[in-house]
Structure 1
Amino acid sequence: MRKLQYLLMTLSVLCFASPAFAQATAGGSSINLAPIGIGLGLALAAGLCGLGQGKATASAVEALARNPGARPGIFTFLILGLAFIESLTLFTLVIIFIMIK
């Protein structure tokens, strides 16, 4: 519990320190944190979509084990659901490429 408290305190301090990172230095250059945010966004989207796909596949396999006769309907909805889940990751990738420019 103590480690979690220290972690949350550190993260809150870093969040409040972000305006200091946005200020320009004496040389006129500023720190660009966009690539870090882009990487975190894509990693979060890909990781959570992977978890969603695993859960959907596990549920479909369990449904097939309980009722093998319903295979065509379950398979259709499984493929449709996996396509929707995968499209979320692809939309995130497109938005990230738009934000890079």
Structure 2
Amino acid sequence: MKRLATLAALALVLLVFAAPAAAQAADQKPPDQVAMWIVIASGFSMAIASAFCGLAQAKATAAACEGLARNPGAAPAIRFSLILALVLIESLALYTFAIVFLKVTY
């Protein structure tokens, strides 16, 4: 029952905040000053996402190499887990790039 109440409250909050966003006109462009800051913020967000993706991929690869050094027999399982982890990590940068590309189209 508690979970249902939490989900209902979350849905209500989502509907309250989604309605004004959906009501905005699509053909309005922001002022030049705002557009400049959108481009700058988009560049920073892409840089931050790429930096953290690089750090996460390096840590995952180092952990996989360490695991292979300790137990060479587990190579197939470690390889599969590493590839899956790298794909999920890289998706962060790709999603950020897609959002930047969609947001900065003037």
TM-score (norm 2): 0.66
Alpha-carbon distance in 1 for matches of 2:55, 2:97: 17
Alpha-carbon distance in 1 for matches of 2:101, 2:93: 12
1:53 Cα deviation from its structure 2 partner: 0.2
Aligned to 2:67: 63
Per-residue CA shift, 1:23-46, capped at 9, x if unaligned?
Answer: xxxxxx742211110110000000
Aligned to 2:46: 42
Structure-2 change in CA distance of 1:34 and 1:51 (3 Å): same
Pair 1:75 & 2:84 matched: no
Name the Cα RMSD after superposition: 1.1
Aligned to 2:25: none
Question: Matched residue pairs, number?
Answer: 73
1:57 Cα deviation from its structure 2 partner: 0.2
Aligned to 1:22: none
Alpha-carbon distance in 2 for matches of 1:92, 1:48: 12
The one-letter amino acid of 1:66's match is: R
Pair 1:92 & 2:99 matched: no
Q: Runs of 4 or more off by more than 3 Å in structure 1? A: none
Structure 2 counterpart SS, 1:33: helix
TM-score (norm 1): 0.69
Q: Which has the higher contact order (CA 8 A, sep 6+)?
A: 2
Name stretches of at least 5 consecutive residues in structure 1 with no aligned partner: 1-28
Alpha-carbon distance in 1 for matches of 2:46, 2:95: 10
Per-residue CA shift, 1:2-36, capped at 9, x if unaligned?
Answer: xxxxxxxxxxxxxxxxxxxxxxxxxxx74221111
The one-letter amino acid of 2:99's match is: I
